[in-house]
A and B are shown apart, each in its own frame.
Chain A
Amino acid sequence: MRWQVQLQSQLGRGASVFELDIAFTSNASRLVLFGPSGAGKTQTLMMMSGLNAPQQGRVVFDDRVVFDSRQGVNLVARQRGLGYVFQDYALFPHLTVRQNMGFALQQGWRNPDRVHNDSSVAHWLAVFQLQAVGDLYPEQLSGGQRQRTALARALVAQPRALLLDEPFAAMDRPLRQRLREELLQLQEELSLPMVLITHDDEDVQAFAQEVIQIEHGKVISDATPYG
């Protein structure tokens, strides 16, 4: 089984406390977590990635236990080998596109050189047509270029799966449609498992092999909608 996810956690504080209680399994390579904002989708994704830990639960990815509260297993994000694309892309503002992309390649306490020329960075610059902006800073990029940079940065690290938090939310409609197609194509070419969260049912229709619908911190349906 690709994903076995079971999470229980109390989120928020004071009056806005709510219970996250999510459980699903899935074999889909394109899994979509669908629901309104504030339903707990981002929290779920963060707990899957290891950026956050639930109070109780178990997360298994490709038959490898990455979190189990009862056995005391909690691999940190970097040990899980998952790529994560943040909703606001979280590009490092002090680094160029090229440095952002090469970020994961360099361990240690220093950032990659501005002029470094790693072959996988060059490859993804070409694939995403970012060569012309490789030496620019994130604030100088368009929305689409930012997203591609964020995707490329995650892919350079060679993750075993890619988690995407509302990747198209910040875009206008035509751009959204184009990037959706690009992402779909990318997924098929790389056969890289992806989990995408969205509140937009067009994303679901275009992308999902399987949908987990989440509301108020609970799974309300687990469906394989289109074929």
Chain B
Amino acid sequence: MDTAWVALALTLKVAGWATALNLVLGIAVGFALSRWRFKGRDVLDAVLTLPMVLPPTVLGYYLLVMLGRHGTIGHWLKEQLGIQLIFTWQGAVIAASVVAFPLVFKAARAAFENVEPSLEQAARVLGLGEAAVFFRVTLPLAWRGILAGTLLAFARATGEFGATLMVAGSIAGETQTLSIAVYEAVQAGQDATANFLVLVTSISCLAVLLGAGYLAPGRVAGQADRGQR
């Protein structure tokens, strides 16, 4: 069962980093897309949503092409910083991030668009600068929607298989996440290990989904503090 715990720890590490990365980028991109009208906004939105519908292996291939030794980004990273992402857990983080990103930025964009503009206006006329308006009004009001999307993204990142396998491979203890370990266990005919891994994965995903459902948008921020009336 050791494999299982190592794989679980690695999965949580990869999904955790991917989620943290997505949270920051998703809020920034979601906010930008909700507030600024510019040419090509719809195209950009569609491109950023692509990972949700493209087969993960296709995404993995794109990432390999870009981050690999001969890829533009990969070559630059290797030459300038001596960093190699392919077949490392950091590579798995990148793969999981890209796959889960649409869930965060879509949720963030919708949550920001739901914030009543007059509330931001009220904060401005009460003397706040734009950054303060964002942190004191916009973000707290959008927070629950963003958090719900983030939890879904975490679940998605936890279960990532295709893109991760292509970018990071399946190195036990290094890049072999739960879902990849399941595949390997089944391939090797280790049914007990596979059963256990599947159980662990299912339970952790179920817990995350329940959490996301509880935070679903539609409930007003602040309500949780007061409990149900």
Report A's interface with B, CB cutoff 8 A.
Answer: 46, 49-51, 76-78, 82-84, 86, 88, 90-95, 103-104, 107-111, 137, 139, 153-154, 157
Q: Is the CB of B222 within 8 A of A94?
A: yes
Q: How near does chain B come to A164, taking the closest CB pair, in angstroms?
A: 12
Q: How near does chain A come to B22, taking the closest CB pair, in angstroms?
A: 23
Give A103 to B116 CA distance when docked, in angstroms: 17
Residues on A with C-beta less than 8 A from B132 are 107-109
Which of B131, B136, B220 contacts A111 (CB under 8 A)? Answer: B136
Q: Is the CB of A94 within 8 A of B135?
A: no
- Secondary structure type dominating chain B contacts: helix
Residues on A with C-beta less than 8 A from B126 are 78, 103-104, 153-154, 157
Q: How near does chain B come to A140, taking the closest CB pair, in angstroms?
A: 8
**Which residues of chain B from 200 to 226 have any CB-CB distance to chain A below 8 Å in the complex?**
220-222, 226
Q: How near does chain B come to A108, taking the closest CB pair, in angstroms?
A: 7
Task: Answer whether residue B98 sits at the interface, using C-beta atoms and an 8 A cutoff.
Answer: no
Q: Is the CB of A94 within 8 A of B118?
A: no
Leading 3 A-B pairs by shortest Cβ distance: A90-B122, A104-B126, A109-B135
Which of A86, A109, A153, A157 contacts B118 (CB under 8 A)? Answer: A86
Q: Is the CB of A90 within 8 A of B119?
A: yes
Give A153 to B127 CA distance when docked, in angstroms: 12
Task: Answer whether residue B121 sits at the interface, using C-beta atoms and an 8 A cutoff.
Answer: yes
- 20 A/B residue pairs, CB under 8 Å, sorted by A: A51-B125, A82-B125, A84-B121, A88-B118, A92-B122, A92-B137, A93-B221, A93-B222, A94-B140, A94-B141, A94-B220, A104-B127, A107-B127, A108-B132, A109-B132, A109-B136, A110-B136, A111-B136, A157-B126, A157-B127
Q: Is the CB of B125 within 8 A of A94?
A: no
Task: Answer whether residue B129 sits at the interface, using C-beta atoms and an 8 A cutoff.
Answer: yes
Task: Answer whether residue B171 sits at the interface, using C-beta atoms and an 8 A cutoff.
Answer: no
**Which residues of chain B from 109 to 136 have any CB-CB distance to chain A below 8 Å in the complex?**
116, 118-119, 121-129, 131-132, 135-136
Closest to B134 in A: A109
- Greatest chain A CB density within 10 A among B116, B125, B137 is at B125
**Which residues of chain B from 158 to 180 have any CB-CB distance to chain A below 8 Å in the complex?**
none
Closest to B130 in A: A76
Give A82 to B122 CA distance when docked, in angstroms: 11
- Secondary structure type dominating chain A contacts: loop
Interface residues on B, range: 20 to 34
Q: Is the CB of B222 within 8 A of A137?
A: yes
Give 13 new A-B contacts, CB below 8 A, not counting A90-B116, A154-B126: A51-B125, A78-B129, A88-B118, A90-B118, A92-B137, A93-B119, A93-B141, A93-B220, A94-B140, A94-B141, A104-B126, A109-B132, A157-B127
Which of B122, B141, B222 contacts A86 (CB under 8 A)? Answer: B122
Residues on B with C-beta less than 8 A from A77 are 121, 124-125
Q: How near does chain A come to B141, taking the closest CB pair, in angstroms?
A: 6
Evaluate whether A84 and B140 lie within 8 angstroms (CB atoms) in the complex, with A90-B116, A107-B132 already known. no
Q: Is the CB of B121 within 8 A of A90?
A: yes
- Greatest chain B CB density within 10 A among A78, A88, A107 is at A78
Closest to A46 in B: B121
Give A91 to B126 CA distance when docked, in angstroms: 12
Closest to A109 in B: B135
Give A67 to B141 CA distance when docked, in angstroms: 32
